[in-house]
Amino acid sequence: MQDTRGDNEVQEAYENSLELAARLLLMLRIGKVNNQFLHRRCLLWEDGSLRDFVASYFAEAPKMNTHDVKLPKSFNGWSLESIGGIQITFTDNVTDHLLLTDDDSKVFVFSYVTFLEWHRLDGDRSLLPSGLAEETLRTLALLFPQSITNGLAHSGASRHSWFRRLCNQEDRTTDDRLGKCGNLHAEDRQIENFTFWRDRVNILKQAYEVTCLNSVQHTCAAAFDGRLDESSTVFRYYAGAADKTTGCIIETSPTKLAYALREPLEVCGQVIPSYVEMDPY
């Protein structure tokens, strides 16, 4: 059967097919897709090889100053959502990984661990830049350490339940390998060890610190205004641990919060926040 379409239509069909194959192979939004809502612009592959095009996109060096940035064990996906109030949303687009949106209230996370492991093992044959897959896996270990996802005693069953709910609430099927990327040691969490995602990790850490500070400030303001029921919710994050003096669980009622405001030094001497993991640098 003879193809009666014009040369331009045939060329466009070829290009669309090639871009579709590239999107499926690399999980990158390459080329325009009609009637599709995107959080960010698509990547336009207009010339050169696919390998060179992808390499040029990820070749930009980190720009932000990260001299004093620390990534303790307490900085993870659970603390982002539960303490920082930053919602985690999974994405199937590598270029959206760790991208903050909605006024820094939501972060996209590329969660396809099996895809990343395949490209890491494929080595020179992978069309992703060398080291990108391995570094992305380390960011997933940073956000979802196995100490949380496996429900180990140190982290508690509640954080494991949080992880399961996070995976199950997504519209798309979550990769079963997510949460099985290991635990990062202190040297692995040095931000200088991240290249491709360093700036986004830094921005995410800054947004997390700002939301935590705002929570504390809001709690103090609410307490001084007499809204103790409201402020005690956040207070539980910072005082829900063992009392070092008595060995008892610290009371986090509005009455206790009012006492904390009157006698802050005494309370601070007794409290170690339950979410803080002692991690010397």
pLDDT for the residue 42: 86
pLDDT for the residue 24: 93
Asked if residue 12 belongs to a domain, the reply is: yes
Please indicate, yes or no, whether residues 110 and 182 belong to a single structural domain of this protein: yes
Q: Domain count of the chain?
A: 3
Confidence of residue 40 (pLDDT cuts 50, 70, 90): low
Please indicate, yes or no, whether residues 123 and 185 belong to a single structural domain of this protein: yes
Q: How far apart are CA 201 and CA 140, in angstroms?
A: 11
Please indicate, yes or no, whether residues 88 and 192 belong to a single structural domain of this protein: yes
Biggest alpha carbon–alpha carbon distance for the chain: 88
pLDDT for the residue 154: 54
Asked if residue 2 belongs to a domain, the reply is: no
What mean pLDDT is predicted for residues 163-186? Answer: 88
The parent domain of residue 52 ranges over 7-57
Please indicate, yes or no, whether residues 52 and 89 belong to a single structural domain of this protein: no
Confidence of residue 3 (pLDDT cuts 50, 70, 90): low
40 secondary structure, DSSP code: S
Please indicate, yes or no, whether residues 102 and 197 belong to a single structural domain of this protein: yes
Asked if residue 149 belongs to a domain, the reply is: yes
Task: Read off the pLDDT of residues 221-250 as tens digits, 9 standing for 90 and up.
Answer: 545 555 555 555 555 544 443 333 334 445
pLDDT surpassing 60 at residue 29: yes
Residues 6+ apart with CB under 8 A from 180: 113, 146, 149
Look up the pTM and report it. 0.75
Task: Read off the pLDDT of residues 107-139 as tens digits, 9 standing for 90 and up.
Answer: 999 999 999 999 999 878 999 999 999 999 999
Please indicate, yes or no, whether residues 181 and 95 belong to a single structural domain of this protein: yes
Q: What is the mean pLDDT of the chain?
A: 79
Percentage with pLDDT > 70 across the chain = 68
In three-state secondary structure terms, 60 is coil
Asked if residue 210 belongs to a domain, the reply is: no
Q: How far apart are CA 104 and CA 207, in angstroms?
A: 7
pLDDT for the residue 188: 94
pLDDT for the residue 259: 54
Q: How far apart are CA 44 and CA 48, in angstroms?
A: 11
DSSP letter string over 147-197?
HHHTT-TTT-HHHHHHHHHHHHTSSSPPPTTTT-S----GGGG-GGG-STT
